[in-house]
């Protein structure tokens, strides 16, 4: 009986530790990973609107950015 009780206690403790580890992994670790992924997806939304895949659009943004930069340099003097 003593040996069986010890073995059963070890098994019970192991099951409890597994339950706690599973809960921690599912709700804390996976929750943090999901929250980070959601925030990156949310913050990248405006950039995804600019990515059209058309070279002409990218060239237009490049020219507009260059004009804005040169205008800033001109008026900053």
Closest C-alpha to 21, from 29, 32, 11:
29
Residue 44 is classified by DSSP as T
pLDDT at 32: 97
Mean pLDDT by 10 residues, the chain (77 residues): 92 97 96 96 89 90 96 92
Residue 1 is classified by DSSP as -
How far is it, in rounded angstroms, from Cα 16 to Cα 54?
56
pLDDT at 1: 83
pTM: 0.56
pLDDT at 62: 95
pLDDT at 41: 94
Neighbouring residues of 50: CB distance < 8 A, sequence distance ≥ 6: 61
């Amino acid at each position: 009986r003593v040996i069986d009780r010890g073995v059963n206690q070890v098994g019970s403790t192991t099951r409890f530790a597994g339950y706690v580890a599973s809960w921690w992994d599912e709700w804390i670790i996976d929750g943090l990973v999901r929250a980070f992924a959601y925030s990156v997806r949310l913050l990248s939304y405006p950039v995804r609107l600019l990515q059209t895949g058309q070279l002409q659009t990218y060239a237009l943004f490049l020219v507009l950015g260059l004009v804005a930069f040169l205008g800033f340099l001109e008026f900053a003097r």
